Amino acid sequence: MTIARQMRIHAYGGPEMFRADQVELPEPQAGEVLVRQHAAGVNFIDVYHRKGVFPLPALPGPVGVEAAGEVLACGSGVTAFAPGDRVAYAGPPIGSYADMRIMKAAALVRLPDAIGYEEAAAIMLKGMTVHMLMTRVRKLSAGDTILVHSAAGGLGQLLGQWASALGVRVIGTVGSPDKAEIARQSGCAETILYKETDFVAAVDELTGGEGVDAVYEGLGGDILTRSLGCLKPFGHAINLGQVGKPLDSVALADLGPQRSLTVSVPGVFAHLRTCKDLQGAADEMFAQVLSGNMRPRIGERFALSNVAAAHAKLEAGRTAGAIVLVP
């Protein structure tokens, strides 16, 4: 019998809803593995799950969608992994806020020895999101110019780093001078303090009226629609979440034909689900880390049992970099 410690919610609500529960895990079945988790990532989608914006499959239930650890046992038919292997994952099924769990072997990727568990938990979801953006949503080239909102956040930093390594000019919006410095260290050529300056006007000035090739934002509200004014013809506006408010409607007539703009709302879970070679895609992302092009920044570590404090800090916008939970 294996007993796991899971941080679960029994009802939707605030961070105080988390409870530490002891849960009996079955033996791994065909195609499954038992993973001892050494670190789990904390993301805004976890907040949506906790609040019930995106309901959990059942209550009570654990939260979390990324983690890294080691294989303890394998069910029948598992040939890609063996006990002792270092692995990581991102995406469903929900429930990474735990010290152990059962996972489908097909959802796991082998972790390079040079990447630690905490670093992996900080980068799997965000790193694979950037991989999706670079390989499936909008392929960038040297000489392109992009605008990244929340450029000092965990995702914004990785996106800025990968793009700048390609020779892309990155303009980032940030909320404070301290975050502006983090964004500059993460590849931004210029930063805009959006609380003090209208970012549309600032982009117009910085680009000499030409605009940018692509905009990346996860704030929601009117940020996406306002960002359309930053794009050059055939530019691409990309929404990655609604941290602030739901998205405004975008009229197709506002996109073209004179402006010839494109808007997309891609999801990393769809990317992970439809990857023909998940390990290969992860290896491409890991290569960016191992080469130094991407440098995952862990903003803060919390004990698994203190996940409520981690959520409170994330929601308050008082983070710079990724949050990880450790047993």
- The confidence score (pLDDT) of residue 69 equals 98
What pLDDT, in 10s, does the model give residues 137-150?
999 999 999 999 99
Nearest to 130 by CA among 268, 300, 297, 289: 268
Angle, alpha carbons 271-274-276 (nearest 5°): 115
Task: State the average pLDDT over residues 90-98.
Answer: 96
First vs last C-alpha separation in the chain: 20
Asked if residues 147 and 230 have their Cβ atoms less than 8 Å apart, the reply is yes
- The confidence score (pLDDT) of residue 321 equals 73
What pLDDT, in 10s, does the model give residues 185-212?
999 999 999 999 999 999 999 999 999 9
What pLDDT, in 10s, does the model give residues 133-182?
999 999 999 999 999 999 988 899 999 999 999 999 999 999 999 999 99
What angle do the packed helices 177-185 and 154-165 form, to 10 degrees? 40
* pTM of the predicted model as reported, rounded to 2 decimal places: 0.92
Which amino acid, 202?
A: A
Asked if residues 188 and 148 have their Cβ atoms less than 8 Å apart, the reply is yes
Taking CA atoms, 61 is separated from 19, 23, 94, 217, 302, in Å, by 10, 11, 9, 30, 20
Dihedral over Cα of 110, 115, 120, 123: its sign:
negative
Nearest to 23 by CA among 121, 118, 108, 97: 97
